[in-house]
Amino acid sequence: MQKKAAVIGAGIAGLASAIRLAHKGIETHVFEANHFPGGKINSRSVNGYRFDQGPSLLTCPEYLEDLYRLCGKDFSTFKMAELDLSFKYFFNDGTQIELGSDRKQVVAEIAGKLGENPEKVNNYLSKAEKNYLLISPLFIEKSLHRWTGLFGAKLVKALAHLPSYKLFSTMNDENSKAFKNERTVQIFNRFAQYNGSHPFKAPAMLNMISHLEINTPPYLPKNGMIQVTDALMELAKEQGVRFHFEEKVEEIRIRNKVITGIKTVQQEFECDFVVSNMDVSFTYERLMKNEYHPTKILNQEKSSSVLAFHWGIKKTFEQLHVHNMIFSDNDKGEFDDVFESKTISADPSFYLYISSKAIPQDAPLGCENWFVLINAPIESGQDWDKEIEEKRAFVISKMSHLLDEDITSLIETEITLDPRDIEQRYSGKQGSIYGNASNNRFSAFYRHPNYSKRVAGLYFVGVSVHPGGGIPLALNSAKIACDCLFKDFKILGH
């Protein structure tokens, strides 16, 4: 008899899991509470402006290509937009740093404008690359909770370079040693935000994230980030995956520590396997109320959240690029506010993404679609309406000064997003974007595994479980979980 699986949530990890399950001949159903797929990777169009609602850049497209290859599809059909710069940074003293797609240019730019030793910059980037290439095959692409899959030459090689990972140092510790200019340190500290962490607490090993943006520049799909969701939906449908939108799952059914199915708002669905793409905390708290909860893991410090503005701007500005970062002068204080005071700094750094710079159809002629993103704490009773009002005024003032023009009257379309929305729309506990933060040296081992150790047939995917936050890691979580499932139930090639 054909096996059946229920995937809870149509985020990209859920979609990737569904593709892999269906490809093995398992009858696969995806249940999504929203009316749209993709989770945070969704799109909204208002008055001629199209806005990506979540992630705004794509790294490691090879993990997408892996799914195409699995389905016998040509990944060259997944077109990318052409970017002349990967990122542009703005500092309060007027310094502007433009990072291109050529590493030599990046080294020369940082050395020339920030006074760094070019050899040291190059060595830093080489170390980030080396660490990533050593670590990713083991700690990103494999389960950390099944050691039999880790043993081998790659593990020996990775462990041989253990001192270079600086496990007892923080990202900021190592960046401050590597660079003499505080603004260079700030640039490289920023990569902690990629998994919602504090660079003055997160382990130095995470500095390897810079490799994914500088040594291998980020990509932007030709139709925006929604293209990732659209592509995975197409692959899933071709594999025979069945979708149930606006059908919220209310309970995971378990009998004698074995999965028997799920209960939704509309039906009782019997199945052999359940793969949850829902935040792991809410999976336990809302769907498994009477089951054992791994409280030590679930009670870890949460990652940061976001406060975001999507603005339709009735003008174009040549000074701005697709990806822009506007820095404050108080790096540590800003992160302390988010993680300790649970507030947003009065003068925060913020990211500005303008996809219409590379995808003209994303905004009316002569206009731009701005996505302003501010690092924010998780929801804990703050007055978010007041925060929105104050930070809106701050960003308008800052950008008006930067562009030497009052942009207030140029905003003709506006959408806001705050931690309350993240929790309600995407089921991220307290608005956390990535589940647990990585603010201690053992954080990688505090993430929930991709399978249940107590319930047969139950698996977990997405940014709140191993290996962590971001599109590449979410896609890897699906591969790890499915590989565990196939091994556990001896499901061979289809």
74, part of any domain:
no
Sign of CA dihedral 289, 291, 296, 297: negative
67, part of any domain:
no
Number of domains composing the chain: 3
User: pLDDT-based confidence at 162, cuts 50/70/90?
Assistant: very low
Cα-Cα end-to-end distance for the chain: 14
Mean of the pLDDT values across residues 164-174? 76
Alpha-carbon distance of 316 to 220, in angstroms, equals 20
Decide which of 166, 188, 215 is a domain's last residue. 215
Can you give the pLDDT at residue 155?
46
433, part of any domain:
no
Looking at the structure, tell me whether residues 257 and 290 fall in a common domain: yes
Q: Domain span at residue 256?
A: 4-40+223-300+438-488
- Is the pLDDT confidence value at 439 over 50? yes
Phi, psi of 250 (to 5 degrees): -105, -25
Question: Where would I find the H helices in 267-383?
Answer: 280-287, 295-298, 331-336
57, part of any domain:
no
493, part of any domain:
no
Question: Where would I find the H helices in 413-470?
Answer: 419-426
Average per-residue pLDDT for the chain: 92
Mean of the pLDDT values across residues 429-456? 87
Phi, psi of 245 (to 5 degrees): -85, 155
Contacts of 383 (CB under 8 A, 6+ apart): none
146, part of any domain:
yes
Looking at the structure, tell me whether residues 294 and 310 fall in a common domain: no
Can you give the pLDDT at residue 164?
53
Alpha-carbon distance of 334 to 31, in angstroms, equals 38
Looking at the structure, tell me whether residues 310 and 417 fall in a common domain: yes
Looking at the structure, tell me whether residues 229 and 209 fall in a common domain: no
Can you give the pLDDT at residue 167?
58
Looking at the structure, tell me whether residues 295 and 443 fall in a common domain: yes
Looking at the structure, tell me whether residues 290 and 333 fall in a common domain: no
Alpha-carbon distance of 477 to 153, in angstroms, equals 23
Burial class (CB in 10 A: 0-12, 13-18, 19+), 489: middle
Looking at the structure, tell me whether residues 409 and 329 fall in a common domain: yes
Q: Is the pTM value of this prediction over 0.85?
A: yes
Decide which of 198, 215, 232 is a domain's last residue. 215
Q: Which of 69-73, 281-285, 436-440 has the lowest mean pLDDT?
A: 436-440
Q: Which of 145-159, 312-326, 425-439 has the lowest mean pLDDT?
A: 145-159
User: pLDDT-based confidence at 146, cuts 50/70/90?
Assistant: low
Block residue for tokens 């060259």: 76
Q: Which of 61-65, 133-137, 240-244, 469-473 has the lowest mean pLDDT?
A: 133-137
- Is the pLDDT confidence value at 450 over 90? yes
Nearest-CA neighbor of 313 among 49, 33, 87?
49
Mean of the pLDDT values across residues 228-235? 98
User: pLDDT-based confidence at 137, cuts 50/70/90?
Assistant: confident
94, part of any domain:
no
Alpha-carbon distance of 466 to 444, in angstroms, equals 8
> Phi-psi bin for 293: left (phi > 0), alpha (psi -120 to 50), beta?
beta
Looking at the structure, tell me whether residues 320 and 291 fall in a common domain: no
Looking at the structure, tell me whether residues 206 and 236 fall in a common domain: no
CATH number at residue 231: 3.50.50.60
Alpha-carbon distance of 91 to 69, in angstroms, equals 43
Burial 342-366 (b: 16+ CB within 10 A, else e): eebbeebbbbbbbbbbbbeebbbee
Q: Are 463 and 469 in contact (CB under 8 A)?
A: yes
Q: Are 295 and 280 in contact (CB under 8 A)?
A: no
Can you give the pLDDT at residue 186?
96
User: pLDDT-based confidence at 494, cuts 50/70/90?
Assistant: low
Which residues partner with 244 through β-bridges? 31
Alpha-carbon distance of 32 to 266, in angstroms, equals 12
Contacts of 172 (CB under 8 A, 6+ apart): 185, 189, 199, 200, 332
Looking at the structure, tell me whether residues 362 and 317 fall in a common domain: yes
Phi, psi of 267 (to 5 degrees): -160, 165
User: pLDDT-based confidence at 160, cuts 50/70/90?
Assistant: very low
> Which H/E stretch holds residue 267?
none
Looking at the structure, tell me whether residues 379 and 484 fall in a common domain: no
Looking at the structure, tell me whether residues 344 and 290 fall in a common domain: no
Nearest-CA neighbor of 481 among 146, 212, 229, 213?
146
For residue 265, give both structure tokens. 């708002």
Alpha-carbon distance of 464 to 151, in angstroms, equals 25
359-404 pLDDT, tens digit each: 999 999 999 999 999 999 999 999 999 999 999 999 999 999 999 9
Decide which of 215, 241, 261 is a domain's last residue. 215
Fill in the DSSP letter of residue 201: T
- Is the pLDDT confidence value at 154 over 60? no
For residue 203, the one-letter residue type is P
9, part of any domain:
yes
